[in-house]
Amino acid sequence: MSSNYKSLGIRPIVNANATLTKLGGSLMPAEVRQVMQDAAQSFVDMHDLQQKVGGRLAEITRNEAAFVSCGAATGLLLATAACIQKASGATYENFPNPPETQNEVIVQRMHRNPYDYAVRQAGASLVEIGTMNGTSPDDLENAYSSSTVAIFWFQGDMNQPYELSLKDVIQSAKKHGVPVIVDGAAQLPPASNLWNFTQQGADLAIFSGGKDLSGPQASGLVVGKWEWIERLRVLGAPNHGVGRPMKVGKEEMMGLLAAVERYVSLDHDHLLEVYEQRVQIWIQGLNGKGGLSAKRDYPNEAGQPVPRALVQLPDKLPKDQLVAQLMDSEPAVSVAPSEALNAILLNPMTVSDEETQIVLDQILSLIY
Ligand SMILES: *Cc1c(COP(=O)(O)O)cnc(C)c1O
Protein backbone atom coordinates (compact mmCIF):
# COMPACT_ATOMS: atom_id res chain seq x y z
CA MET A 1 0.00 0.00 0.00
CA SER A 2 1.20 3.49 -0.76
CA SER A 3 -1.00 5.18 1.83
CA ASN A 4 1.73 6.27 4.19
CA TYR A 5 3.30 9.60 5.13
CA LYS A 6 6.44 8.92 3.14
CA SER A 7 4.67 8.30 -0.15
CA LEU A 8 2.91 11.65 0.27
CA GLY A 9 6.14 13.47 0.98
CA ILE A 10 5.03 14.17 4.56
CA ARG A 11 7.98 14.29 6.95
CA PRO A 12 7.61 13.13 10.54
CA ILE A 13 8.30 15.96 12.99
CA VAL A 14 10.10 15.72 16.31
CA ASN A 15 7.77 17.69 18.54
CA ALA A 16 9.49 19.68 21.30
CA ASN A 17 6.75 22.29 21.09
CA ALA A 18 3.47 21.19 22.71
CA THR A 19 0.40 19.02 22.16
CA LEU A 20 -0.57 21.28 19.27
CA THR A 21 -3.43 20.29 17.01
CA LYS A 22 -1.50 21.65 14.03
CA LEU A 23 1.22 19.05 14.73
CA GLY A 24 -1.23 16.22 15.28
CA GLY A 25 -1.84 16.72 18.99
CA SER A 26 -0.24 13.76 20.72
CA LEU A 27 0.85 10.20 19.98
CA MET A 28 -1.39 7.35 21.07
CA PRO A 29 0.33 4.65 23.17
CA ALA A 30 0.19 1.07 21.87
CA GLU A 31 -2.55 0.01 24.29
CA VAL A 32 -4.86 2.78 23.05
CA ARG A 33 -4.18 1.90 19.41
CA GLN A 34 -4.91 -1.74 20.15
CA VAL A 35 -8.26 -0.93 21.77
CA MET A 36 -9.19 1.16 18.71
CA GLN A 37 -8.19 -1.62 16.37
CA ASP A 38 -10.34 -4.10 18.30
CA ALA A 39 -13.26 -1.67 18.28
CA ALA A 40 -12.97 -1.33 14.51
CA GLN A 41 -13.87 -4.97 13.98
CA SER A 42 -17.58 -5.03 14.84
CA PHE A 43 -20.73 -3.06 14.36
CA VAL A 44 -22.30 -1.85 17.59
CA ASP A 45 -25.29 0.20 18.75
CA MET A 46 -23.76 3.67 18.94
CA HIS A 47 -26.35 5.09 21.36
CA ASP A 48 -25.65 2.25 23.70
CA LEU A 49 -21.88 2.57 23.30
CA GLN A 50 -21.86 6.32 24.06
CA GLN A 51 -23.87 5.67 27.24
CA LYS A 52 -21.81 2.72 28.44
CA VAL A 53 -18.48 4.40 27.66
CA GLY A 54 -19.81 7.54 29.35
CA GLY A 55 -20.78 5.53 32.42
CA ARG A 56 -17.31 4.00 32.70
CA LEU A 57 -15.62 7.36 32.10
CA ALA A 58 -17.78 8.91 34.82
CA GLU A 59 -16.64 6.25 37.30
CA ILE A 60 -12.98 6.66 36.42
CA THR A 61 -13.13 10.45 36.62
CA ARG A 62 -15.30 10.51 39.78
CA ASN A 63 -18.14 12.35 38.05
CA GLU A 64 -21.90 11.84 37.82
CA ALA A 65 -21.76 11.42 34.06
CA ALA A 66 -19.47 11.76 31.04
CA PHE A 67 -19.67 12.07 27.26
CA VAL A 68 -17.21 11.54 24.41
CA SER A 69 -17.19 14.48 22.00
CA CYS A 70 -15.32 15.08 18.76
CA GLY A 71 -12.57 17.15 20.40
CA ALA A 72 -12.91 19.57 23.29
CA ALA A 73 -14.18 22.26 20.90
CA THR A 74 -17.22 20.12 20.10
CA GLY A 75 -17.67 19.61 23.82
CA LEU A 76 -17.83 23.39 24.24
CA LEU A 77 -20.30 23.70 21.40
CA LEU A 78 -22.63 20.96 22.65
CA ALA A 79 -22.40 22.10 26.28
CA THR A 80 -23.43 25.61 25.22
CA ALA A 81 -26.15 24.23 22.95
CA ALA A 82 -27.50 22.17 25.85
CA CYS A 83 -27.77 25.31 28.00
CA ILE A 84 -29.50 27.29 25.23
CA GLN A 85 -31.78 24.38 24.42
CA LYS A 86 -32.92 23.95 28.01
CA ALA A 87 -33.91 27.62 28.20
CA SER A 88 -35.77 27.51 24.89
CA GLY A 89 -37.36 24.10 25.24
CA ALA A 90 -36.41 23.30 21.62
CA THR A 91 -36.08 19.66 20.64
CA TYR A 92 -32.86 18.42 19.12
CA GLU A 93 -34.51 18.28 15.70
CA ASN A 94 -35.49 21.96 15.63
CA PHE A 95 -32.58 23.43 17.60
CA PRO A 96 -31.39 26.12 16.78
CA ASN A 97 -33.98 27.07 14.25
CA PRO A 98 -35.64 29.49 14.81
CA PRO A 99 -32.68 31.22 16.49
CA GLU A 100 -33.11 30.97 20.23
CA THR A 101 -33.60 34.25 22.06
CA GLN A 102 -32.33 33.13 25.46
CA ASN A 103 -28.72 32.66 24.53
CA GLU A 104 -26.50 34.84 26.73
CA VAL A 105 -23.31 33.31 28.06
CA ILE A 106 -21.37 35.38 30.57
CA VAL A 107 -17.57 35.37 30.25
CA GLN A 108 -14.83 37.37 31.93
CA ARG A 109 -13.00 39.62 29.47
CA MET A 110 -9.73 37.90 30.41
CA HIS A 111 -11.18 34.52 29.51
CA ARG A 112 -11.88 35.36 25.88
CA ASN A 113 -9.76 33.08 23.68
CA PRO A 114 -9.82 31.72 20.13
CA TYR A 115 -11.65 28.56 21.21
CA ASP A 116 -14.71 30.47 22.38
CA TYR A 117 -15.67 30.44 18.70
CA ALA A 118 -17.22 27.05 19.53
CA VAL A 119 -19.40 28.65 22.22
CA ARG A 120 -20.56 31.29 19.74
CA GLN A 121 -21.02 28.63 17.05
CA ALA A 122 -23.74 27.10 19.24
CA GLY A 123 -25.63 30.37 18.86
CA ALA A 124 -24.55 31.98 22.12
CA SER A 125 -24.15 35.68 22.51
CA LEU A 126 -21.18 36.36 24.78
CA VAL A 127 -21.70 38.91 27.54
CA GLU A 128 -18.23 40.12 28.54
CA ILE A 129 -17.63 41.26 32.07
CA GLY A 130 -14.61 43.04 33.56
CA THR A 131 -11.49 44.19 31.72
CA MET A 132 -8.03 42.79 31.08
CA ASN A 133 -7.17 44.32 34.45
CA GLY A 134 -9.73 42.42 36.44
CA THR A 135 -13.34 41.54 37.19
CA SER A 136 -15.37 42.49 40.27
CA PRO A 137 -18.24 40.60 41.92
CA ASP A 138 -20.54 43.47 40.85
CA ASP A 139 -19.52 43.03 37.21
CA LEU A 140 -20.91 39.52 37.42
CA GLU A 141 -24.04 40.37 39.42
CA ASN A 142 -24.95 43.11 36.94
CA ALA A 143 -24.50 40.82 33.92
CA TYR A 144 -27.32 38.38 34.67
CA SER A 145 -30.50 38.81 32.69
CA SER A 146 -33.54 36.72 31.87
CA SER A 147 -31.59 35.56 28.79
CA THR A 148 -28.57 34.22 30.71
CA VAL A 149 -28.11 30.52 30.02
CA ALA A 150 -24.56 29.83 31.25
CA ILE A 151 -21.27 31.16 32.54
CA PHE A 152 -18.19 30.14 30.59
CA TRP A 153 -14.89 29.69 32.45
CA PHE A 154 -11.59 29.30 30.63
CA GLN A 155 -8.97 27.61 32.80
CA GLY A 156 -5.46 28.55 31.78
CA ASP A 157 -2.23 30.20 32.79
CA MET A 158 -3.89 33.61 32.58
CA ASN A 159 -6.09 32.96 35.62
CA GLN A 160 -5.06 35.84 37.89
CA PRO A 161 -5.81 36.87 41.46
CA TYR A 162 -7.56 40.04 40.24
CA GLU A 163 -10.15 38.13 38.26
CA LEU A 164 -13.17 36.48 39.85
CA SER A 165 -12.16 33.06 41.14
CA LEU A 166 -13.88 29.90 39.99
CA LYS A 167 -15.17 29.48 43.54
CA ASP A 168 -16.80 32.93 43.54
CA VAL A 169 -18.24 32.42 40.07
CA ILE A 170 -19.76 29.07 41.03
CA GLN A 171 -21.20 30.49 44.24
CA SER A 172 -22.89 33.32 42.37
CA ALA A 173 -24.05 31.07 39.52
CA LYS A 174 -25.72 28.70 41.98
CA LYS A 175 -27.61 31.59 43.54
CA HIS A 176 -28.92 32.52 40.10
CA GLY A 177 -29.54 28.95 38.97
CA VAL A 178 -27.13 29.28 36.04
CA PRO A 179 -24.77 26.46 34.98
CA VAL A 180 -20.99 26.93 34.81
CA ILE A 181 -19.03 25.40 31.92
CA VAL A 182 -15.26 25.00 32.37
CA ASP A 183 -12.95 24.81 29.36
CA GLY A 184 -10.11 22.74 30.81
CA ALA A 185 -9.05 21.40 27.40
CA ALA A 186 -5.32 21.68 28.07
CA GLN A 187 -5.45 21.40 31.88
CA LEU A 188 -4.07 17.88 32.18
CA PRO A 189 -1.80 17.28 34.05
CA PRO A 190 -2.69 17.28 36.85
CA ALA A 191 -4.98 14.26 36.39
CA SER A 192 -6.97 15.43 39.41
CA ASN A 193 -8.43 18.18 37.23
CA LEU A 194 -10.64 15.44 35.78
CA TRP A 195 -12.68 15.80 38.98
CA ASN A 196 -11.43 19.07 40.55
CA PHE A 197 -13.57 21.49 38.57
CA THR A 198 -16.79 19.54 38.95
CA GLN A 199 -16.15 18.78 42.63
CA GLN A 200 -15.83 22.53 43.13
CA GLY A 201 -19.33 22.83 41.69
CA ALA A 202 -18.87 23.41 37.97
CA ASP A 203 -21.71 21.76 36.04
CA LEU A 204 -19.54 20.65 33.13
CA ALA A 205 -15.79 20.41 32.54
CA ILE A 206 -14.30 19.75 29.13
CA PHE A 207 -10.94 18.23 28.17
CA SER A 208 -9.13 17.38 24.94
CA GLY A 209 -8.72 13.67 24.28
CA GLY A 210 -5.87 14.39 21.89
CA LYS A 211 -3.57 16.40 24.16
CA ASP A 212 -1.84 14.97 27.23
CA LEU A 213 -4.50 12.26 27.62
CA SER A 214 -2.93 10.80 24.45
CA GLY A 215 -6.23 9.47 23.19
CA PRO A 216 -7.54 9.83 19.64
CA GLN A 217 -6.82 13.25 18.18
CA ALA A 218 -10.48 13.77 17.26
CA SER A 219 -11.86 13.07 20.73
CA GLY A 220 -12.86 15.15 23.71
CA LEU A 221 -14.11 14.38 27.19
CA VAL A 222 -17.04 16.15 28.81
CA VAL A 223 -17.70 15.37 32.47
CA GLY A 224 -20.24 16.69 34.92
CA LYS A 225 -23.83 16.69 36.05
CA TRP A 226 -26.03 13.93 34.71
CA GLU A 227 -28.76 16.32 33.58
CA TRP A 228 -26.41 18.30 31.33
CA ILE A 229 -24.58 15.29 29.93
CA GLU A 230 -27.92 13.77 29.04
CA ARG A 231 -28.97 16.93 27.14
CA LEU A 232 -25.62 17.02 25.35
CA ARG A 233 -25.94 13.38 24.38
CA VAL A 234 -29.34 13.94 22.79
CA LEU A 235 -28.01 16.93 20.81
CA GLY A 236 -25.05 14.86 19.60
CA ALA A 237 -24.55 12.23 16.89
CA PRO A 238 -25.94 9.84 15.85
CA ASN A 239 -29.10 11.92 16.42
CA HIS A 240 -29.75 14.32 13.56
CA GLY A 241 -29.22 17.50 15.53
CA VAL A 242 -26.61 20.22 15.94
CA GLY A 243 -23.96 17.66 16.87
CA ARG A 244 -24.48 15.37 13.87
CA PRO A 245 -21.69 16.96 11.76
CA MET A 246 -19.27 16.30 14.63
CA LYS A 247 -19.77 12.59 15.06
CA VAL A 248 -17.47 10.41 17.10
CA GLY A 249 -16.60 6.94 15.86
CA LYS A 250 -16.77 3.77 17.90
CA GLU A 251 -12.99 3.59 17.64
CA GLU A 252 -12.59 7.07 19.14
CA MET A 253 -15.03 6.32 21.96
CA MET A 254 -13.20 3.16 22.95
CA GLY A 255 -9.80 4.80 22.35
CA LEU A 256 -10.64 7.69 24.65
CA LEU A 257 -11.86 5.31 27.32
CA ALA A 258 -8.59 3.38 27.13
CA ALA A 259 -6.59 6.62 27.21
CA VAL A 260 -8.38 7.93 30.31
CA GLU A 261 -8.06 4.59 32.09
CA ARG A 262 -4.35 4.63 31.33
CA TYR A 263 -3.94 8.30 32.27
CA VAL A 264 -5.34 8.01 35.79
CA SER A 265 -3.12 4.99 36.49
CA LEU A 266 0.11 6.61 35.24
CA ASP A 267 2.82 7.44 37.76
CA HIS A 268 2.63 11.20 37.25
CA ASP A 269 5.32 11.90 39.87
CA HIS A 270 7.74 9.74 37.95
CA LEU A 271 6.73 11.40 34.66
CA LEU A 272 7.50 14.77 36.19
CA GLU A 273 10.99 13.54 37.12
CA VAL A 274 11.50 12.39 33.53
CA TYR A 275 10.43 15.84 32.30
CA GLU A 276 12.81 17.54 34.74
CA GLN A 277 15.67 15.33 33.50
CA ARG A 278 14.98 16.18 29.86
CA VAL A 279 14.88 19.88 30.68
CA GLN A 280 18.22 19.52 32.52
CA ILE A 281 19.76 17.75 29.51
CA TRP A 282 18.75 20.69 27.31
CA ILE A 283 19.93 23.30 29.80
CA GLN A 284 23.29 21.66 30.43
CA GLY A 285 23.82 20.95 26.74
CA LEU A 286 22.97 24.45 25.57
CA ASN A 287 23.79 26.96 28.29
CA GLY A 288 26.86 28.99 27.37
CA LYS A 289 27.21 27.42 23.90
CA GLY A 290 27.37 29.80 20.93
CA GLY A 291 26.01 32.72 22.93
CA LEU A 292 22.98 30.79 24.22
CA SER A 293 21.69 31.12 27.72
CA ALA A 294 19.38 28.34 28.90
CA LYS A 295 17.34 27.99 32.06
CA ARG A 296 14.35 26.19 33.53
CA ASP A 297 10.96 27.85 33.07
CA TYR A 298 7.85 26.94 35.07
CA PRO A 299 4.94 26.45 34.64
CA ASN A 300 4.54 25.93 30.92
CA GLU A 301 2.52 27.89 28.36
CA ALA A 302 -0.74 26.16 29.20
CA GLY A 303 -0.19 26.74 32.91
CA GLN A 304 0.40 23.03 33.46
CA PRO A 305 2.66 22.21 36.43
CA VAL A 306 5.44 21.00 34.12
CA PRO A 307 8.87 22.57 33.46
CA ARG A 308 10.28 23.56 30.09
CA ALA A 309 13.62 24.93 28.92
CA LEU A 310 13.88 28.60 28.00
CA VAL A 311 16.80 29.16 25.63
CA GLN A 312 17.77 32.77 25.00
CA LEU A 313 19.49 33.44 21.71
CA PRO A 314 22.19 35.96 20.78
CA ASP A 315 20.91 39.03 18.87
CA LYS A 316 22.52 37.83 15.65
CA LEU A 317 20.25 34.76 15.69
CA PRO A 318 16.58 35.83 15.58
CA LYS A 319 14.20 33.27 17.13
CA ASP A 320 12.05 32.97 14.01
CA GLN A 321 15.12 32.09 11.94
CA LEU A 322 16.15 29.31 14.32
CA VAL A 323 12.58 27.99 14.54
CA ALA A 324 12.42 27.82 10.72
CA GLN A 325 15.86 26.21 10.41
CA LEU A 326 14.92 23.53 12.92
CA MET A 327 11.78 22.73 10.93
CA ASP A 328 13.92 22.48 7.78
CA SER A 329 16.50 20.23 9.40
CA GLU A 330 16.57 16.44 9.14
CA PRO A 331 14.63 15.28 11.06
CA ALA A 332 12.32 18.26 11.31
CA VAL A 333 12.13 19.66 14.83
CA SER A 334 9.32 21.88 16.07
CA VAL A 335 10.03 24.28 18.93
CA ALA A 336 8.04 27.26 20.22
CA PRO A 337 9.31 30.81 19.86
CA SER A 338 9.00 32.85 23.05
CA GLU A 339 6.44 35.63 22.77
CA ALA A 340 8.35 38.27 24.68
CA LEU A 341 12.03 37.36 24.33
CA ASN A 342 14.47 36.43 21.56
CA ALA A 343 14.27 32.88 22.82
CA ILE A 344 12.88 29.45 22.10
CA LEU A 345 11.04 27.14 24.47
CA LEU A 346 11.57 23.38 24.63
CA ASN A 347 8.79 21.16 25.96
CA PRO A 348 9.74 17.78 27.47
CA MET A 349 6.19 16.32 27.37
CA THR A 350 5.98 15.51 23.68
CA VAL A 351 9.43 13.98 23.07
CA SER A 352 11.01 10.62 23.85
CA ASP A 353 14.42 10.34 25.56
CA GLU A 354 16.00 9.71 22.18
CA GLU A 355 14.30 12.75 20.70
CA THR A 356 15.48 14.87 23.64
CA GLN A 357 19.01 14.23 22.38
CA ILE A 358 18.04 14.85 18.74
CA VAL A 359 16.58 18.25 19.66
CA LEU A 360 19.78 19.14 21.51
CA ASP A 361 22.04 17.98 18.65
CA GLN A 362 20.02 19.83 16.01
CA ILE A 363 20.13 23.09 17.92
CA LEU A 364 23.89 22.73 18.52
CA SER A 365 24.47 22.02 14.84
CA LEU A 366 22.64 25.22 13.85
CA ILE A 367 24.09 27.78 16.26
CA TYR A 368 27.72 27.72 15.17
C1 LIG B 1 -6.95 22.67 22.60
C2 LIG B 1 -7.99 23.54 23.23
C3 LIG B 1 -9.34 23.45 22.85
C4 LIG B 1 -9.79 22.56 21.73
O5 LIG B 1 -9.56 21.22 21.97
P6 LIG B 1 -9.74 20.12 20.79
O7 LIG B 1 -9.72 18.83 21.52
O8 LIG B 1 -8.56 20.30 19.89
O9 LIG B 1 -11.02 20.41 20.11
C10 LIG B 1 -10.26 24.23 23.49
N11 LIG B 1 -9.88 25.09 24.48
C12 LIG B 1 -8.60 25.21 24.88
C13 LIG B 1 -8.26 26.17 25.97
C14 LIG B 1 -7.61 24.45 24.27
O15 LIG B 1 -6.33 24.58 24.66
Q: Which of 68, 70, 152, 183 best tests ligand 1's pocket when mutated (most atoms within 8 Å of CB)?
A: 183
**Of 265, 280, 299, which marks where a domain is finished?**
265
C-alpha pair distances (Å), 3 with each of 7, 26, 36, 216:
7, 21, 19, 20
Whether the CB-CB separation of 53 and 119 falls below 8 Å is answered with no
Question: For residues 351 and 345, is the Cβ–Cβ distance under 8 A?
Answer: no
In a domain, 1, yes or no: no
* Same domain flag for 359 and 244: no
CA 110 to chain centroid, in Å, comes to 18
Range of the domain at 320: 6-20+267-367
Report the alpha-carbon distance of residue 256 to residue 153 in Å, rounded.
Answer: 24
Note whether 132 and 230 are same-domain residues: yes
C-alpha 197 – ligand 1 centre gap (Å): 16
**36 occurs within a structural domain:** no
Question: Do 328 and 192 belong to one domain?
Answer: no
Q: Is residue 30 part of a domain?
A: no
Rounded to whole angstroms, how far apart are CA atoms 17 and 121? 29
CA distance 273 to 348: 11
Among 327, 328, 289, 331, residue whose Cα is nearest residue 311:
289
Nearest to 363 by CA among 14, 4, 3: 14
Dist CA 70 CA 80 (whole Å):
15
Domain annotation covers residue 57: yes
β 336-337/332-334 pair status? unpaired
Task: Say whether both 319 and 355 belong to one domain.
Answer: yes
Which of 208, 211, 219, 300 should be mutated for ligand 1, with most atoms under 8 A from CB? Answer: 208
In tens digits, what is the pLDDT along the chain, a chain of 368 residues?
789 999 999 999 999 999 999 999 999 999 999 999 999 999 999 999 999 999 999 999 999 999 999 999 999 999 999 999 999 888 999 998 777 789 999 999 999 999 999 999 999 999 999 999 999 999 999 999 999 999 999 998 766 778 999 999 999 999 999 999 999 999 999 999 999 999 999 999 999 999 999 999 999 999 999 999 999 999 999 999 999 999 999 999 999 999 999 999 999 999 999 999 999 999 999 999 999 999 999 999 899 999 999 999 999 999 999 999 999 999 999 999 999 999 999 999 999 999 999 999 999 999 98
User: Distance, CA 72 to ligand 1 centroid (Å)?
Assistant: 5
Q: How far is the CA of 277 from the centre of ligand 1 (A)?
A: 28
Residue 37 lies in a domain: no
